[in-house]
Copies of this chain bind each other. A is one copy, B any other.
Amino acid sequence: MSDFQPVQRSSVSVAVFEQIAARIVDGTLPADAALPSERVLTEEFGVNRQALREALQRLDQLGLVEIRHGGATRVRDFRTASGLDLLPRLFLGADGSLDAVVVRSVMEMRTTIGADAAAHAARRAPAEVVRGLRGLLAELDEGPDDVGRMAELDVAFWDLVVEGSGNVCYRLSLNVLRRSYRQVASLVDLLMLGERRDLAAHRELVAGIETGDPERARAAAVALLEQGHTAVLAHLSEE
């Protein structure tokens, strides 16, 4: 059984970006600190200036540094300067361990937004989305034993709920949340198994949407999401 991992090739500029981003996020490069000049960084990383600058542009785009023509490039306080897109980088510590506070935050946001999306879907979901949800219920009913397949269905299910909610913010946030816990996919797939298997709650959620009953949909969503939520919290406190 070959257990090789695909080699992750990455461009020089991205590699530089990753290194600096990691140092900012873990506090090695504190907020307001001035980065060395591009010429100096160029030598330290052993790359050329173009690659280095591409990395800096990315950092700026993420809100991690502030570049000023003529002045020094400074580290920003990402807690006030960055957007949600930074989240996946806060999830894992330098040693690969989970950051408990971040994980808790993610789970809370998932529950809150998921519930609200369900409620709005009950108000606004177009027939097409409802049809899709019914189709997924049928597939869930088959009881797929494959954990991976289960995860796929779960993704598709919530995609439709959020789609039905007609809320762009929720749609974009969902992308980020997924990117976050995809980093520990195998663990998540295990912890979420109970939630994903709860056919009754899924049915109830879809019923709430079908009948246009926001509070029913919301309650079902909460019931569903809190299962994974508590499972994750339990897992965290075990360590």
Contact = CB atoms under 8 A, between A and B. Distances in A.
Interface of A: 11, 13, 50, 53-54, 57-58, 60-63, 69, 79-87, 90, 101-102, 104-106, 108-109, 112-113, 116, 120, 166-173, 175-177, 179
- What is the count of identical protomers in the complex? 2
Given A58-B57, A108-B116, A116-B112, A169 B85 contact: no
A11 B101 CA distance: 38
A168 B83 contact: no
Contacts of A58: 57-58, 60-61
Chain A interface helix/strand/loop/mixed: helix
A84 B85 contact: yes
30 contacts: A50-B50, A50-B53, A53-B54, A54-B54, A54-B57, A57-B57, A58-B60, A58-B61, A61-B61, A79-B168, A79-B171, A82-B172, A82-B175, A83-B83, A83-B84, A83-B85, A83-B87, A83-B173, A83-B176, A84-B172, A84-B173, A85-B85, A87-B168, A90-B168, A105-B167, A108-B116, A108-B169, A109-B113, A112-B112, A173-B173
